Structure 1
Amino acid sequence: MDVWQRLVHRLGGLPPTNWMMVGRWLLTSVNTHKIFGHQLQKITPYPNETMIGWVFHYLIGIVYVIAYTILWKNVGILTLTFLDGLIFGVVSVVVPWFFFMPAMGAGVMGCKTQRPVVGCLSALGVHSVFGVAIALLLQLSQQYN
């Protein structure tokens, strides 16, 4: 996911996710017990907010891998194929569109940003690639079990 974002940034100029702001949002949410409504640009930066944003990002990624594994092994609605990975990735984009974007002040599907369509398509692309990567890496791991 991160490699894909960096590649798209270099080739197309789309900025990657700002994990510093994610860290600031997380720390502010924990401190205020409030998820929505922060004006993150006006909040004094926290020490280590970038690192905290990156760690949170990877923890969320692990949750997605666990969810895919459960839907594959326990529920049986996913297989370890390119198509199922793509479907999982496309469906998973509802989380940033309808939770993280609004929570960070960008509105539902980034409607409060200057280029909401670009933000939504970027999230869709990144999540699609990540879903496919999960499926293919789990498939690869099965060859060694």
Structure 2
Amino acid sequence: MFDLFWRGVAVGIGATILMDIWAIVLWRLFGQSAPNWAPVGRWFWHLGRGKVFHSSIAEAEPYAHELALGWLSHYAVGVLYGVVFAFLVGMSWFAAPTFIPAWIMGIVTVGAGWFLLQPGLGLGWAASKLPNANTVRFLNLVAHTVFALGLYGTAFIIR
């Protein structure tokens, strides 16, 4: 069980790193906004004080270390997803990783962003308050597919 836990931590970190590399590629080559985890850090800070949903996270009380907390939270969630995934698929998957289970996990994790984080930030369910909501949803699905590739690729490397 301990080995499975550490494999989950490894694939969670690997998947999150690949997702971050993807975000940097989108930013540098295609002019997407640069990754900014400060609003997420502010959200997590307020979450710890019992406030889940905001009309606008930008209007919420700032937190001095929100960028650092945002990055830490981003990786903590990635590791959590990796550990949950590891326990769902078991050691047999790590012996011979396949993409489909990782991709299913990647797509399932989009739900946390659409139905918890985005409404929590004040963006609406699945970014519905944004003028480009469909583009954001598409990019969320692609990013979580990249996360799935990271789960699979990291598992392949450590097998």
Counterparts of 1:139 and 1:67, CA distance in 2: 18
Q: For the structure 1 residues 26 and 75, does the alpha-carbon distance in structure 2 shift closer, same or farther, using more than 3 Å as the test?
A: farther
Partner of 1:133: 150
Partner of 1:23: 41
- AA at the equivalent of 2:118: M
Partners of 1:83 and 1:132 within 8 A in 2: no
TM-score w.r.t. length of structure 2: 0.79
> Relative contact order (C-alpha < 8 Å, sep 6+): which is higher?
2
Selected match of 1:73 from 82, 86, 90 = 90
Counterparts of 2:32 and 2:53, CA distance in 1: 25
Give structure 2 stretches of 5+ with no counterpart.
1-18
Deviations 1:26-62 (A, max 9, x none): 112223x121135321234211110000000000000
Partners of 1:65 and 1:134 within 8 A in 2: yes
User: 1:75, CA displacement in angstroms?
Assistant: 9.8
Partner of 1:6: 24
Partner of 1:118: 135
Query: Is 1:56–2:73 an aligned residue pair?
Result: yes
Partner of 1:100: 117
When the two chains are superposed, the root-mean-square deviation of aligned CA atoms in Å is 1.9
Identity of aligned residues (%): 29
Give structure 1 stretches of 5+ with no counterpart.
none
- AA at the equivalent of 2:27: H
How many residues align? The count is 139
Counterparts of 1:74 and 1:116, CA distance in 2: 38
- AA at the equivalent of 1:15: S
- AA at the equivalent of 1:24: R
Counterparts of 1:126 and 1:62, CA distance in 2: 16
User: 1:130, CA displacement in angstroms?
Assistant: 0.7
Counterparts of 2:116 and 2:82, CA distance in 1: 19
Partners of 1:106 and 1:113 within 8 A in 2: yes
Higher mean displacement: 59-68 or 39-48? 39-48
TM-score w.r.t. length of structure 1: 0.86
Counterparts of 1:16 and 1:122, CA distance in 2: 14
